[in-house]
Chains A and B, each alone.
Chain A
Amino acid sequence: MHSVPFESWEGAKEIFTFAHSPGVMAICLIATVVVIVGTIVASVRHENHSFAKAKNGHK
């Protein structure tokens, strides 16, 4: 995986992985958003399930 955005430390500025690959950066950003939104959606489903069980008197 070609992740290094520079050839030499001398004069390098943006040293982070994939700084030269907007496509990979976009994939990372989208995956981050998916994790955040997906976890919130999963949390809503979990809460609905838990509260429904609680309402029915189950633990």
Chain B
Amino acid sequence: MEGTDFQAAIDMMNTINMEVYYWWCTAIMVIIHAGFLAYEMGASRMKNALASGVKNILAFAFLVPTFYLFGWWIYLAFPNGFVPVDAADGLPWALAMGPNLGDNASGVFWAAFTLFAATTASIMSGSVIERIRVSGFVILAILLGSVVWILGASWGWHPEGWLTTEFGFHDFGAAGCVHTVAGFFVLGVLINLGPRIGRFNADGSANPILGHSVPMALIGLMLIIVGFFGFLGGCAIYMGSEQWVNIFGQPMTLSSVAFNTLMGFAGGIIGAFLVTRDPFWMMSGALAGIISAASGLDIYYPPLAFLIGFIGGCIIYPANTLIEKFRIDDAVGAFAVHGVSGVWSMVALGIFAAGYPQANPDWPATNLGGMIASAVVMAALGFIPGYVVSLVLKAFNILRVGGEAEIMGLDAAELPIRPYPEAGVPQAAPHPAE
């Protein structure tokens, strides 16, 4: 084989390897949605189990085409802030946005980001169960998954995002644009959505509303953890014959992420176990542990990732209890698990990993002030649209179901089938969906 042919063969092999790698990352990320489906249905009372599942399935379905229509373009267009740069390759009529033998990358990168988007929308999904209208939810899911988070990704999870070029932002595992944005978006929505009937007493004290299947919820949470390995694998950039780089262009290894993901995971469970002894919060702690270490999964000393995850696992339950005092009903603790852990992740990186140089030496190195400023940006980017748009939906009466339907149960009120038709559970008579 001639030298040029040999090089061409190596180049093609690298291209195919890249394509295969992101294909399987995307496939593994679908498991996140299997997890969210089980988690949210299990966390719902039996009378709402399927309605919670329908909502989750629809979030995924609506995210795919909307992310194709404008989500991917937003990511490519806004690394400088609100003024778009040329991003014609991300427009839905671009030649790269369809089967193209000259482009093995666009489809698999779009698919991976679409799954990141659907994950972000699903973070909201669990918090609002048992009282949100499907139509209002779908609008909010599209806003969060195909607009808001991806704008945050363009700012702070992009090779040239302004948070990195101006503040030295570093966030390997998307604690900011995915978890913090989603967590604070949820908080804004929950304020307008209001608590489920019976969640709070007149004196402000909270009543627990238990899901009908905690084991199902726990299995769902573990499936989300499995899917996280696809998610975090998708955060690494395959460089063919060269070392991996993170999304900011800094060299890294998958081994780094393997060490620290597992250490953060374990620390989160142990922290939540110590604080609550509650298996639901322990598995939420597993998520919180990974999210807490997410910003520095590529650079932390593994015992440090364990300790940061441990703190994340310790703080989520008190954080959830704190918002309950304001009569905010977060059915699965998503604000605490994603929003609070996400902020902690970014601040922790500023504390423990300040001074890491950027890929471009002209950009500021990681620093605590820059990480805190970026965390504030991400929190505001999530909260403001979540609050404002849910307020508008509330004004048009498409945010929350009526009281009768909520008391009856959403499955009986709007679905043609029941989750456990032979279980003998009192339910309203089935009727065809209108």
Question: What number of A residues sit within 8 Å (CB to CB) of B?
Answer: 24
In-complex Cβ contact of A16 among B267, B299, B306, B354 (8 A) = B299
Q: Does B431 contact A (CB under 8 A)?
A: no
Q: Does A17 contact B (CB under 8 A)?
A: yes
Interface pair A8/B270, CB less than 8 Å apart:
no
Interface pair B359/A9, CB less than 8 Å apart:
yes
Q: Tell me the minimal C-beta distance from A1 to chain B in angstroms.
A: 6
Interface pair B303/A32, CB less than 8 Å apart:
yes
Q: Does B273 contact A (CB under 8 A)?
A: yes
In-complex Cβ contact of B354 among A1, A25, A43 (8 A) = A1
Give the CA-CA distance A18 to B296 in the complex, in Å.
13
Q: Tell me the minimal C-beta distance from A42 to chain B in angstroms.
A: 6
Q: Which residue of A lies closest to B359 (CB)?
A: A9
Give the CA-CA distance A28 to B361 in the complex, in Å.
30
Interface pair A46/B256, CB less than 8 Å apart:
no
Give the CA-CA distance A17 to B350 in the complex, in Å.
12
In-complex Cβ contact of A17 among B251, B274, B352, B357 (8 A) = B352
Q: Tell me the minimal C-beta distance from A30 to chain B in angstroms.
A: 9
Interface string of A1-19 (1 = CB under 8 A from B): 1111001110010011111
Interface pair A35/B251, CB less than 8 Å apart:
no
Q: Which residue of A lies closest to B355 (CB)?
A: A4
Interface pair B353/A4, CB less than 8 Å apart:
yes
Question: What number of B residues sit within 8 Å (CB to CB) of A?
Answer: 29
Q: Does A44 contact B (CB under 8 A)?
A: no
Given A1-B352, A42-B274: A35 and B299 within 8 A (CB)?
A: no
Q: Tell me the minimal C-beta distance from A57 to chain B in angstroms.
A: 20
Given A8-B357, A39-B274: A1 and B351 within 8 A (CB)?
A: yes
Q: Does B15 contact A (CB under 8 A)?
A: no
In-complex Cβ contact of B301 among A1, A7, A17 (8 A) = A17
Interface pair B251/A16, CB less than 8 Å apart:
no
Given A1-B351, A12-B251: A36 and B270 within 8 A (CB)?
A: yes
Residues in A neighbouring B252, C-beta threshold 8 A: 15
Q: Does B300 contact A (CB under 8 A)?
A: yes
Q: Tell me the minimal C-beta distance from A52 to chain B in angstroms.
A: 16
Q: Tell me the minimal C-beta distance from B262 to chain A in angstroms.
A: 13
Interface residues of B in 315-361 (CB under 8 A from A): 351-357, 359, 361
Interface pair A28/B304, CB less than 8 Å apart:
yes
Given A3-B355, A12-B251, A36-B270: A17 and B304 within 8 A (CB)?
A: yes
Residues in B neighbouring A39, C-beta threshold 8 A: 270, 273-274
Residues in B neighbouring A17, C-beta threshold 8 A: 296, 299-301, 304, 352-353
Q: Which residue of A lies closest to B273 (CB)?
A: A39
Interface pair B356/A18, CB less than 8 Å apart:
no
7 closest A-B pairs (Cβ-Cβ)?
A28-B303, A4-B355, A32-B303, A16-B301, A17-B301, A28-B304, A39-B274
Not counting A29-B303, A32-B307, a sample of 17 additional A-B residue pairs whose C-beta atoms are within 8 angstroms of each other reads A1-B354, A3-B352, A3-B353, A4-B354, A4-B356, A4-B365, A7-B357, A15-B256, A16-B299, A17-B296, A17-B300, A17-B301, A25-B301, A28-B303, A35-B306, A36-B270, A46-B277
Which residues of A does B touch, CB under 8 Å? 1-4, 7-9, 12, 15-19, 25, 28-29, 31-32, 35-36, 39, 42-43, 46
Sample 7 A-B pairs with CB under 8 A, ordered by A number: A3-B354, A4-B356, A9-B250, A16-B300, A17-B301, A28-B307, A31-B307
